[in-house]
């Protein structure tokens, strides 16, 4: 059942066309290593294109539901941005990041778990819509394994940066976050990766488009932060760190070079570390 196919053709997990098991790229859709070194038939049964976009989507939805059920008496229903917002205790238990958890409480691993948590229905809706748009594009240009690596590391960089910046004496709109959650940090990492791809491939249209996204969101975040002490604030430093982290990781991985088996192992390690970070977050609260 789990035997590796060493010869012949396989079905590309992205477009469904036949490709050689050892082809570096799919001639139809351009996906790197469509045969996944002979493991495409096995992995294809698990999920199309390894299903990372779907893993993020359903993983975030499941954790959002779990945080609501953890403390239903604290669910926020006060307005559009706080509609179905989980309680602070629930978010902290499941792995909220920021300067307080990371530095005061020593929960440094939350830079991995926070990307899978959300502060309200509108928050998760917007982020999941972006996931469905960006994940397939990055998977096509970089390959699924490198998508996972970029997503994981850029999210950690984003939450790490905002936690550090919260310690500096900066005015409110420019300060980092004492508490923060959301998939937007790694999403900006995907922006950064696509910006790098535009540079490496010579497509100025792609680079300019995603650079504009970064600038627009940063300006919008600063403007929305004025006079919003009691409202949900856009975490600009997490976004900026995610973009920079995604750009640097994508530069290191180089989308113009083929995926290697080591990338798959690194991707699995990223997923394992993420699951472990959420589990440790919960256990350190429940068992104390």
For residue 85, how far is the Cα from the chain centroid?
Answer: 20
Same domain, 130 and 242: yes
pTM exceeds 0.75, yes or no: yes
Same domain, 38 and 65: no
Taking only the tens place, the pLDDT of each residue in 236-245 is 899 999 999 9
Q: Which residues contact 182 (CB under 8 A, 6 or more apart)?
A: 114, 115, 117, 118, 119, 123, 127, 235, 238
Instruction: Read off the pLDDT of each residue in 257-267 and give the average, rounded to a whole number.
Output: 88
Same domain, 140 and 273: yes
Same domain, 161 and 248: yes
Same domain, 57 and 36: no
C-alpha distance from residue 37 to each of 43, 126, 186, 282 (Å): 11, 35, 28, 37
Residue 194: give its domain's CATH number: 1.20.1540.10
Closest CA to 257 of 189, 184, 200: 200
Task: Enter the tokens of residue 81.
Answer: 């941005």
Cβ atoms of residues 105 and 284 within 8 Å: no
Would you call 201 helix, strand, or coil by DSSP?
Answer: helix
Task: Enter the tokens of residue 218.
Answer: 């940063």
Cβ atoms of residues 41 and 50 within 8 Å: no
Model confidence at 214, pLDDT cuts 50, 70, 90, reads: confident
CA distance 131 to 245: 17
Same domain, 10 and 131: no
Instruction: Read off the pLDDT of each residue in 86-98 and give the average, rounded to a whole number.
Output: 95
Same domain, 41 and 71: no
Domain of 35 in residue numbering reads as 1-46
In total, how many domains does the chain have? Answer: 2
Same domain, 66 and 207: yes
| Helices vs. strands in the chain: H and E counts, helices first | 11, 2
Average pLDDT along the chain: 84
- Among 76-90, 95-109, 125-139, top mean pLDDT goes to 95-109
Same domain, 173 and 229: yes
Q: In the prediction, which pLDDT does 223 show?
A: 64
Instruction: Read off the pLDDT of each residue in 117-131 and give the average, rounded to a whole number.
Output: 92
Flag whether pLDDT at 30 surpasses 90. Answer: no
Percentage of the residues of the chain whose pLDDT score is greater than 90: 51
Q: Which residues contact 170 (CB under 8 A, 6 or more apart)?
A: 176
Same domain, 117 and 161: yes
Flag whether pLDDT at 107 surpasses 90. Answer: yes
Same domain, 19 and 135: no
Same domain, 58 and 126: yes
């Amino acid at each position: 059942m789990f035997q590796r196919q060493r010869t012949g053709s396989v079905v590309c997990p992205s477009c469904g066309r036949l490709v050689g098991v050892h082809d570096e790229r799919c001639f139809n859709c351009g996906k790197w290593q469509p045969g996944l070194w002979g493991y495409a038939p096995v992995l294809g049964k698990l999920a199309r294109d390894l299903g990372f976009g779907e893993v993020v989507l359903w993983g975030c939805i499941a954790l959002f539901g779990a945080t609501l059920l953890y403390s239903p008496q604290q669910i926020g229903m006060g307005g559009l941005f706080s509609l179905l917002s989980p309680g602070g205790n629930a978010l902290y238990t499941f792995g909220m990041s920021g300067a307080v958890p990371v530095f005061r409480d020593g929960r440094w691993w939350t830079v991995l778990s926070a990307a899978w948590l959300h502060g309200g229905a509108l928050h998760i809706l917007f982020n999941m819509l972006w996931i469905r748009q960006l994940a397939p594009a990055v998977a096509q240009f970089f390959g699924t394994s490198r998508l996972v690596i970029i997503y994981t590391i850029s999210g950690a960089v984003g939450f790490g940066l905002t936690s550090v910046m919260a310690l500096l004496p900066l005015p409110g709109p420019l300060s980092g976050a004492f508490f923060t959650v959301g998939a937007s940090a790694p999403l900006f990492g995907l922006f950064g990766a696509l910006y790098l791809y535009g540079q490496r491939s010579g497509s100025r249209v792609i680079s300019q488009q995603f650079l504009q996204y970064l600038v627009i969101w940063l300006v919008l975040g600063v403007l929305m932060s004025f006079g919003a002490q009691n409202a949900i604030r856009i975490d600009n430093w997490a976004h900026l760190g995610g973009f920079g982290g995604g750009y640097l990781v994508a530069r290191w991985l180089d989308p113009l070079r083929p995926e290697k088996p080591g990338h798959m192992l690194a991707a699995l390690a990223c997923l394992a570390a993420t699951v472990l970070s959420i589990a440790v977050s919960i256990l350190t609260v429940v068992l104390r």
